Structure 1
Amino acid sequence: MHSRLQRTIARPAEFHGFGFLTGADVALRFLPADDGTGIRFQRVDLPGTKPIPATLAHVVPRQRRTAISNGAATVELIEHVMAALAGLQIDNCLVQLNASEAPGADGSSLDFVHVLLEAGIVEQPARREVLVLRQP
């Protein structure tokens, strides 16, 4: 079984773009997070709302996009942000947004990858939890 240390970003990083659904200007900020935190999204335009863990338990049904909610806040179109974090093997990160959706770019995760690489990636003391499928 493959095992490695958890990872986060070394320093905050920002990306600005527009929302595909709303057309609004969207600011997205990646922040380092403690080991064991996971990926969480937080709506800073809704004061007092707690971060939403990017887990299956928080997914809400949408057509042709991925959305998560904690009941008080919802974040839409997170799939390209999640792809960038997963592709770079970043386990822990707080993603803050000032809108209901992640900003669009060229329709891929490439711009997010560049921003995250500029922030730097660091290992953390805790080992990464590995899930193994034993049956299809």
Structure 2
Amino acid sequence: MTRRWTHGRSMRHSGAACGATSAQARITDEAHLVTCPDCPDAAEAEAIPDDATTGDPHLIETLRDARDGHTRKIDGVVVDATTAHAILTVYDAATPKTKAKIAVLPLTVMTSLAWNILRADVKREGPR
């Protein structure tokens, strides 16, 4: 099996991150032909398989792994430890009914919800 390089996000999105538009510019078997500085890293991130998707019963366990420093990908997005920790902080503090609602949210909504709640807590506490 030969490794194929793609321009970033070309498999999931209509346009490449670097702006490449032709099919010949988007996929190649030779890494030295990829001239965009962002594309090799984006292609490697794109090649990581999804560990979970929205509504997956193991989503929270996957977030716990990400929080502990393991690379995890959910719905095509690599989740860092800080974001996973923010989501889990809100999730762990929620009631069981709210936990069920949070667990089925798409990752982008779950992340926005967590950061908005955590920012609101910081604003209420005020400066120290």
The TM-score normalised by the length of structure 1 is 0.27
Looking at secondary structure, tell me which structure has more helix per residue: 2
Greater relative contact order, per chain length (Cα 8 Å cut-off, separation 6+): 1
The TM-score normalised by the length of structure 2 is 0.28
| Rg larger in structure | 2
Looking at secondary structure, tell me which structure has more strand per residue: 1
